[in-house]
Structure formats: structure tokens, C-alpha cells
Amino acid sequence: MRLVIARCSVDYAGRLTAHLPSAPRLILVKADGSVSVHADDRAYKPLNWMSPPCTLKEGEENGTAVWTVVNKSGEKLIITMEEVLHDSSHELGVDPGLIKDGVEAHLQELLADRMETLGEGWTLIRREYPTAIGPVDILGRDAEGTTVAIEIKRRGEIDGVEQLTRYLELLNRDPHLAPVKGVFAAQEIKPQARVLATDRGIDCVTLDYDALRGIEDDKLRLF
């Protein structure tokens, strides 16, 4: 990783056109060849950047360093450095990576494994059931054998209800599946989402992540 602090101006031409007037900034060159330009605020977002794969060419024009970063699709980032205030390189190696817990994918796994938390006798047909407009999180059956489409969110908002509604409309056109009822499952469901879901005959279920995981742990302990 190379850290450069320099007074620079930056031009980007690619998905849009953007320009940064001259000012002191941090320029970050990473081992994968990516380049980003940071101001002294905002933790997350660089002012400008080029994602890998891309190539960096360090040139010079009238005594000022000019870096040109180009990627596959022809996007271009040009950094003109009027004054370099710091320049250091550091060997970091490959990062072991982030371990996450509590995201939607995990909720889906847990719930698919414990369909009975939704109701006695409920069973799984499959996760990520494919449709023309995208995969349904979980397709299952209730105790009476009625098909159920389940949409899972960490936070249940109106968009999620709209999404499930579209799936239900489509699934109910399939005579092999119809009638299909809907369940909107989330760790937290916003009141507006609950109202809309209820209005459309969709059941709302609040998921207890810790409880689901606890059940899972209990299961593992049996083996």
C-alpha cells in the first residue's frame, strides 16, 4: 500500500465526468492496483477512485507528476500533483477478511432450517426459489399444504412488501402452485410496512435472531 499526501487536482471521465480543484489530499494506491483520493472528512467514501482491475501510469508534465489510471472499460482518472507532501509504501499482505454475523442471508438459512417457527407442520420447498422477476427467499408449505412465499428482511419496510406482492402475483398465475399465500418475516417490521402487508393479506412475522440461532445451536449439540 502506497500513501501519498499531495496538493493535487483530479479529473475523472467515465460513467460521469467529474473534476476536483487543486487541494491537499490523500492518494491511496493499493496492492491490487486500485487508486482512491480522500479528503479529510467522510470515513467511507473517497472523493474519487478507480476500482481494480486498472493500470496506473506515473507520468510527468512540466515538472509536475501526472498519474493516469485507466480501467478495462476506458474510464480514466487523472491526478495532477503540484506538490508532494508525503510518500510512503507499506507491505501489508493479504487480509484474512471480515467475519459478519446477523445479516439477511444468515436469517434465511436459519429460518429455512426451522420452518416450524412459522407454524406447526410448515415445511420447506426450497430457498431462493427462482422466478422470472427474481428469486423468492423461501418457498414452503403450511400444515394444510398451501404454498407459502416468504420474504425475509433484516428490517421490514414497504419495499419488501412490494417485492413480495410482485412474487405472489406471479406465483399465483402458476396453477401448480396457486393459491400461494405470503409471509413477510423480519427482525423488525416498520408500522407502515405492516399496514400495507396486512391490507394485502400478507402475514407478518417478527424473527428473533438470537432465538433462531439458539435453536440451531441446540440442534448442533445433538450430533
Minimum Å gap between C-beta 121 and DNA is 26
H/E run at residue 162: helix 158-171
Number of chain positions touching a copy of itself (CB under 8 A): 62
Question: Is residue 72 classed as helix, strand or coil in its secondary structure?
Answer: coil
Backbone angles phi, psi at 39, to 5 degrees: -90, 180
Question: Which one among 53, 59, 134, 214 touches a copy of itself, defined by CB under 8 A?
Answer: 134
Q: How far apart, in whole angstroms, are the C-alpha atoms of residue 114 and residue 186? A: 15
**Smallest distance, a copy of itself to C-beta of residue 195, A:** 8
Query: Shortest Cβ distance from residue 63 to DNA (Å)?
Result: 26
What would the grid cell of residue 169 be?
Answer: 402475483
C-alpha cell at 24: 491537499
Based on the shown chain and the rule CB under 8 A, indicate whether residue 207 belongs to the binding site for a copy of itself: no
Say whether residue 159 binds a copy of itself (CB under 8 A): yes
86 binds, among a copy of itself, DNA, none (CB under 5 to 8 A by kind): a copy of itself
Q: Which residues bind DNA (CB under 7 A)?
A: 12, 14-16, 18, 42-45, 47-51, 71-72, 75, 77, 98, 100, 103-105, 128, 130, 133-135, 137, 153-155, 157-160, 163, 190-193
Q: What character string, x for contact with a copy of itself (CB under 8 A) and - otherwise, covers 72-111?
A: -------------xx-x-xxxxxxxxxxxxxx--------
Residue 191 to residue 198: CA distance in whole angstroms = 11
Selected from 36, 112, 137, 185, the binder of a copy of itself by CB under 8 A is 36
**Exposed / middle / buried, residue 71 (Cβ in 10 Å: 0-12, 13-18, 19+):** middle
Q: Does 195 bind a copy of itself (CB under 8 A)?
A: yes
Whole-angstrom Cα distance, residue 63 to residue 49? 24
Q: Which of the residues 42 through 61 are near a copy of itself (CB under 8 A)?
A: 42-52
Question: Does 120 interact with a copy of itself (rule: CB under 8 A)?
Answer: no
Strands 48-50 and 35-38: antiparallel
Please report how close the Cβ of residue 7 comes to DNA at its closest, in angstroms. 18
Angstrom CA distances, 24 to 12, 37, 44, 81, 95, stand at: 17, 10, 18, 9, 29
Q: Rounded to an integer, what is the distance from CA 178 to the centroid of its chain?
A: 32
Residue 153 binding target from DNA, a copy of itself, none, CB below 5 to 8 Å by type: DNA
Give the single-character DSSP code of 105: H
Q: Which residues make up the interface to a copy of itself (CB under 8 A)?
A: 1, 3, 5, 15-21, 23-26, 28, 30-32, 34-36, 38-52, 85-86, 88, 90-103, 132-134, 158-159, 162, 192, 195-196
